Amino acid sequence: MVMKKTLVSIVAAGLVSLATSLPVGAASVESATGTSIALPTGITATDMNALDVNGKKVALFDAKTLAVVNTNVRKSLAKNSANTYEGDALKGIRLYQVQGTDTDGHHVGYLVSCAWDDQLAKTFVSPKDRQVAGSYWGLQESVKASPKDLKAFHEGFRQEQDKSIDNQTQSKIKTYESYAKAGAMPPARLADMKDSIQREAALYKLLDANLGSLIISPVVGQTHPTTVGTWSLALSYDGFSLPLGGSFKAIDDGTNLNVLGILSIDASRPYWHQVIRNLQIVK
């Protein structure tokens, strides 16, 4: 129990420190593409796009980071699809802490703005799906995830997580085995390292995620095809559960798929869902 409380405390303290150490925004913030996101009245935002390291500002999402992400996306698409894609999938990303108040109290969330290359969808999403009701995902009406869908998400999460952890574990073990083979590590030390790596992997596998709900809806009457969604998720670790909630708006402007999302505790999700519906990207 002490380890679980310590883990949560470290994460919480880190987010608070990062947000409060940077300047507070005003009526608008910068989007992933450099345009502005107009904030509704009463919402304040704090820039979280850089860390203060030894008195120097270090960007979280610089060109090097985006290049790594885009390289991995291209590799994944090349491996899992017959179509080819040579562009940069992620054009940019910005992060802010947002705060607001209503009759239910004070709400804190984390606003993410990211821009994805529209060509990615043109390559991998059929024209028929793109044209239905003018919605990016081809939605004619709201879609709610069924219990079967939610179960499938959980099973997929477990499979992908276990696979990733197992691959990383084997990679680490092989690295140390090569050291031992080259005479750079005694057998006893190798055995200790293997045991440590396997125990670490077992701890990571205690992390679980259960999607409680997901609703996606098209927004009619917009200049560009727009979709909004809301979801709840319980992130758990060895019996400790953190209820999270999120809302997003996706706007396909013909060049980029601009996605705005807000993450918060689940109790604040209804408040932030109304905010996300009213967020506008302006020139």
What is the value of pTM for the model shown? 0.76
Q: Is the pLDDT of residue 273 over 70?
A: yes
Alpha-carbon distance of 138 to 149, in angstroms, equals 18
Q: What is the pLDDT of residue 126?
A: 53
Q: Is the pLDDT of residue 245 over 80?
A: yes
Q: What is the pLDDT of residue 197?
A: 92
108 bridge partner residues: 99
Tell me what percent of the residues of the chain surpass a pLDDT of 90: 41
> Counting Cβ atoms within 10 Å, is residue 279 exposed (0-12), middle (13-18) or buried (19+)?
buried
Average pLDDT estimate for 225-232: 89
Q: What is the pLDDT of residue 99?
A: 95
Q: 203 near 165, Cβ under 8 Å?
A: no
The tens digit of pLDDT for each residue in 59-109 reads 888 889 999 999 988 888 887 777 778 889 999 999 999 999 999 999 999
The tens digit of pLDDT for each residue in 149-194 reads 999 999 998 998 999 999 999 999 998 888 888 888 888 888 898 9
Q: What is the pLDDT of residue 139?
A: 58
Q: What is the pLDDT of residue 93?
A: 94
Q: 170 near 198, Cβ under 8 Å?
A: no
Q: Is the pLDDT of residue 221 over 80?
A: no
Q: What is the pLDDT of residue 124?
A: 63
pLDDT category of residue 222 using cuts at 50, 70 and 90: confident
Q: Is the pLDDT of residue 251 over 60?
A: yes
Q: What is the DSSP string of the chain?
A: -HHHHHHHHHHHHHHHHHHHTS-B--SEEE-TTSSEEEPPTT-EEEE-SEEEETTEEEESS-HHHHHHHHHHHHHHHHHH-SS---S-SEEEEEEEEEEEEETTEEEEEEEEEEEEEHHHHHHHS-HHHHHGGG-TT--SS-EE--HHHHHHHHHHHHHHHHHHHHHHHHHHHHHHHHHHHTTSS-HHHHHHHHHHHHHHHHHHTTEEEEEEEEEEEEETT-SS-EEEEEEEEEEEETTEEEEEEEEEEEEE-SSEEEEEEEEEEGGGHHHHHHHHHH-EEE-
57 bridge partner residues: 52
The tens digit of pLDDT for each residue in 111-149 reads 999 999 888 766 665 555 444 434 444 456 788 889 999
Q: What is the pLDDT of residue 125?
A: 57
Alpha-carbon distance of 89 to 259, in angstroms, equals 13
Q: What is the mean pLDDT of the chain?
A: 82
**From the CA atom positions of the chain, what is the Rg in Å?**
22
Q: Is the pLDDT of residue 26 over 70?
A: no
Q: What is the pLDDT of residue 61?
A: 86
Q: What is the pLDDT of residue 283?
A: 67
Find the range with the poorest average confidence among 7-16, 113-122, 208-217, 237-246.
Answer: 7-16
